[in-house]
Amino acid sequence: MQYIFIVNSNIHKRRKKALEKAVRELPADFRNKSEIVYTERSNHAEELAVTYSEKYGSECLIFACGGDGTVHEVANALAFRNSPMAVIPLGTGNDFARTIYSKEQYKDPLSILKKLANPGIRSIDLLRIDSYDLMGNHLPFWSRYSLNIASMGLDTMVQAKAKRIVAKHPKSLFFRNNAYTFAAVSCLIRGWRYTMDYSIELEDGEMVEKKNVRYSLVSICNGRCYGGGFCPAPDAKVDDGVLDVCIVDHMSRIKAFSQLMKYKKGKHIGKPGFTCYRSTSGIFTSLNSNLQMQGNYDGEDFYGHRVRYEVVPQAIQLAFFS
């Protein structure tokens, strides 16, 4: 087995050096079969994953070493391929790792390297997002697979602000670790207004249709957490063939502070103002012809007047280390 570590070059230098040291200290049998490669541009992680998958096939384990954006790129590269992927959370959000790892592994991600001899590899689901413009034309640039969570509305506004905060303070771990909190406060002060129609297919095949819905945000979840620890789907499983969808009603700025804390902690299920579905597919349509829905999948931005989603069962192989 070959071990390929695809490292986002933008991660903090301290984390980069720690990874390099950990790989150097692997037993010779693993170290001699390990290779660290660094991204050089946008989407380079995806290109590298394809290259190594085609070279080694099922005889390699490809690590996404970075945040959720790196995980997103590697997952899109390895969907439906026979090369398994693994995750070492070294970025800003690292939210998908919260679903697949224990708290101890999440806090000490390099401890995963001590278990290379026995990775538990199994097939898990992917979430597919397809975006369309006002005329119904498919938008391939904003249509992708997501390993973790796709969302639209207030949370995407927060994420865009958080990215700007990190970009402004690239060398500060303090701002990296607290960017989402600072961004959330800023966006709550600004306010928001979103309206949509939606049609959702439930896991039993029943269809739910709603018109002229005012909402604050929508999350479509394969994993449990996103946005620096927000937990919209505390019971989500990545291999059950179903997505957990949460729609948060429109609310005042004052009410949002308390309600979103429930959402962050995963305590919102069954509470007023939160509508949750177990779903296999669905469509969300913006009611403002001049404003596309702004969303993100695994932290990467997308836009569309109409957004369709569906679960793709057992579409990718993932390594678990227990």
- What pLDDT sits at residue 289? 66
The domain locations on the chain are 2-118, 127-313
> 139 vs 5, 103, 131, 153, 303, CA distance in Å?
31, 38, 5, 19, 9
Phi-psi region of 319 (alpha: psi -120 to 50; beta: other; left: phi over 0): beta
The Cα–Cα gap between 221 and 147 comes to 9
The Cα–Cα gap between 67 and 141 comes to 21
- What pLDDT sits at residue 184? 75
Asked if 89 contacts 97 with a C-beta cutoff of 8 angstroms, the reply is: yes
2-118 adopts what CATH topology? Answer: Rossmann fold (3.40.50)
CB atoms closer than 10 angstroms to residue 58: 13
- What pLDDT sits at residue 164? 82
The Cα–Cα gap between 34 and 37 comes to 10
Establish whether domains 2-118 and 127-313 are of one fold.
Answer: no
- DSSP letters spanning 137-204: -B-GGG-EEESSEEEEEHHHHHHHHHHHHHHHSTT-HHHHHHHHHHHHHHHHHH---EEEEEEEEETT
Token pair in block for residue 209: 């249709």
Radius of gyration of the chain measured on its C-alpha atoms? 19
- What pLDDT sits at residue 190? 72
Task: List the chain residues with pLDDT less than 50.
Answer: none
According to DSSP, the residues that pair with 149 across neighbouring strands are 221
- What pLDDT sits at residue 81? 97
127-313 adopts what CATH topology? Answer: Tumour Suppressor Smad4 (2.60.200)
Token pair in block for residue 167: 């970009």
- What pLDDT sits at residue 279? 98
The Cα–Cα gap between 250 and 126 comes to 29
